[in-house]
Amino acid sequence: MARLLLRQWRDADLEPFAALNADPEVMRHFPARLGRAQSDELAVHARAALAERGWGLWAVEVADGPPFIGFVGLSVPRFEAHFTPAVEIGWRLGRAHWGHGYATEAARAALAFGFHDLSLDEIVSFTTVANERSRRVMERLGMTRDPADDFAHPLVPEGEPTRPHVLYRLRRVDWPGEPLPIISR
C-alpha cells in the first residue's frame, strides 16, 4: 500500500500551505517567504492547472496521516533559459515531514506520470547551489547534473545569493520506473 496520495488541492490545504510558505527554514533557498495572499494565489494557480491539464503541482497527503504536507509535481518554467521549453519536477514539503522519504516517493510518482502518461522525453529539476537537501532528492531520482547547464535564475534579482542554480535532467530512456498508483485522477 502506498504511503502517499498526490491529489487535487482542497480549501483546507490553504492554511497549512501558508504556514509552510512562511517558515524561514522551508523557504531558505527562495528569495523570500510568501505571505498568506501569495501562498493562496500559488495554491489557486496549482488547483486550476490540475483541473485544466490533469497534471501539475499535486497536494501531497499521507495515508492514515496528515491530510496535507506540501506539494510535489510537474510544471512548466515561467522563464526562458538554455533548457526551456521544459517540464520541471519540484516539491515543497513542511519541515515536520522532511527526512521520511516523502519527497522522493512522491517525485517518483510524478516522474512516472510525466514519462508514461504524458510521454515526455525529458524532465528537469533545478534549485539553488546551496540546496543540498533538494539536490540529494534529485540524485536519488536518478537525475544527473552537468555543471555546464548551471544558470543564473532570471526571475531572481542579480546579487541575490539564491540566483545561481544547478540544473538536473532525467531522460525517459534512462527512467527505470513504472507508473505508481498514488496520483488521484
Q: Mean of the pLDDT values across residues 54-59?
A: 96
Q: Per-residue pLDDT for 92 more than 90?
A: yes
pLDDT band at 181; cut points 50, 70, 90: low
Is residue 45 scored above 90 in pLDDT? Answer: yes
Q: What is the mean pLDDT of residues 82-91?
A: 97
Nearest to 68, CA basis, from 41, 92, 49 = 92
The DSSP 8-state label assigned to residue 63 in this structure reads T
Strands (E), the chain: 4-7, 57-62, 70-75, 88-93, 122-128, 144-145, 151-152, 164-171
- Contact by Cβ (8 Å): 170, 123: yes
Helices (H), the chain: 14-22, 36-53, 102-112, 132-140
Cell of 66: 496528515
Cβ neighbours of residue 48 under 8 Å, at least 6 residues apart?
none
pLDDT tens for each residue of 119-134: 999 999 999 999 999 9
Nearest to 149 by CA among 59, 96, 79, 83: 83
Prediction pTM value: 0.92
